[in-house]
Amino acid sequence: MLLAASLWAGLLNLLILLVSLFLILLVLIQRGRGGGLIGALGGAGGYSPFGSRAGEPITRLTIIVALVWIVLIIVQIKLL
């Protein structure tokens, strides 16, 4: 019984780690609204070859992944 609980906790920790890394990646690839660091360094801040609505699917995916991450953290806390 203890071994099974330990296995599930380890798998949950691994899943949280993978979701966390994916969430970080999603946040980093999003286009900033105000230009951010790229605009300050002289990059093409507002330019997008796919149009102005190109970032919306990434934003939605980021929100979904963040909600999954929150649920996983709550489940992990309940298992402690």
Gap between the Cα atoms of 7 and 73, Å rounded = 17
- Asked if 63 and 30 touch (Cβ cutoff 8 Å), the reply is no
Q: Residue holding tokens 């190109």?
A: 54
Query: What integer is the mean pLDDT of 64-72?
Result: 98
Residue 32 parent element (H or E): none
Torsion of CA 13, 24, 73, 68, to 10 degrees: -110
Number of residues in the chain = 80
User: Of the ranges 22-26, 29-33, 36-40, 55-59, which one carries the lowest mean pLDDT score?
Assistant: 36-40
Mean pLDDT of 59-79: 95
